[in-house]
Structure 1
Amino acid sequence: MALARDGTGSGAVARAYWSQIHPVFMTPPIAASLFGAILAGSVDPVLAAVHVLAMFAAVYTAHVKDGYVDFHVRGEDDDHPLTERGCRVGLAASTATFAGCCLLLAALVDALVLAVVVPTWLIAYHHAPQLDTNPVTATTGYPLGIALSILGGFYVQAGTITAVPLGFAVVFLALLSGVKVIDDAQDYAYDRSIEKRTVAVAVGPSRAYDIAYGLMAVALAAVVGFAVARVFPLTTLLAALAFAAVAAVARRADPELATMLLIRGSYVFLAVLVAAVRFDPVGRFV
Structure 2
Amino acid sequence: MALARRGSGLEATIRAFLSQVHPVFMLPPLAASLFGALLAGTVDPTRAVVHVVAMFAAVYTAHVKDGYVDFHIRGEDDDHPLTERGCRLALSLSTALFAGCCLLLYALVGWLPLALTLPTWVIAYHHAPQLDMNPVTATTGYPLGIALSLLGGFATQTAAIAAVPLGFALVFLVLLSGIKVIDDAQDYDYDRAIQKRTVAVLVGPARAYTLAYGLMATALLVVVALALVQVFPPTAVLAALAFAAVATVARRATPELATMLLIRGSYVFLAVLVAAVWFEPLTGVL
For the criterion TM > 0.5, the same-fold answer is yes
May I ask how many residue pairs the two structures share in their alignment? 281
Q: CA offset at residue 112 of structure 1?
A: 2.5
Correspondence for 2:147 = 147
SS at match of 1:128: coil
Q: Is the 8 A contact 2:53 2:98 kept in 1?
A: yes
Identical residues among aligned pairs (%): 77
* Distance across 2 between alignment mates of 1:146 and 1:250: 22
Which deviates more, 81-90 or 110-119? 110-119
TM-score, normalising length from structure 2? 0.97
Name 1:191's counterpart in structure 2.
Answer: 191
Quick check: 1:234–1:280 contact (8 Å CA) kept in 2?
A: no
Q: Secondary structure in 1 aligned to 2:119?
A: helix
Question: Counterpart in 1 of 2:47?
Answer: 47
Quote the RMSD (CA, aligned, Å).
0.8
Which residue number in structure 1 is paired with residue 284 of structure 2?
A: none
User: SS of the residue aligned with 2:196?
Assistant: coil
The structural deviation recorded for 1:167 is 0.3
Task: Give the letter for the 2:249 counterpart.
Answer: V
The one-letter amino acid of 2:32's match is: A
Give the C-alpha shift of residue 280 in structure 1.
4.1
TM superposition shift of 1:113:
1.9
Partner Cα distance (2:34, 2:224) in 1: 23
For structure 1, the residue ranges without an aligned partner over 5 or more in a row are 282-286
SS in 2 for 1:51: helix
Please name the residue that 1:201 is paired with.
201
Q: CA deviation at 1:23?
A: 0.2
CA distance in 1, matches of 2:38, 2:114: 20
* Other-structure match for 2:132: 132
What is the 5 A alignment of 1:1-286? 1-280=1-280
1:175 aligned partner, one-letter code: L
In the aligned structure 1, how far is the partner of 2:251 from the partner of 2:127? 28
C-alpha distance in 1 between matches for 2:239 and 2:18: 33
Q: Give TM-score, length-normalised by structure 1.
A: 0.97
Write the deviation string for residues 68-99 of structure 1: whole angstroms up to 9, x where unpaired: 00000000000000000000000000000000
- C-alpha distance in 2, partners of 1:213/1:44? 37
Unaligned runs of 5+ in 2: 282-286
State the SS of the aligned residue for 1:32: helix
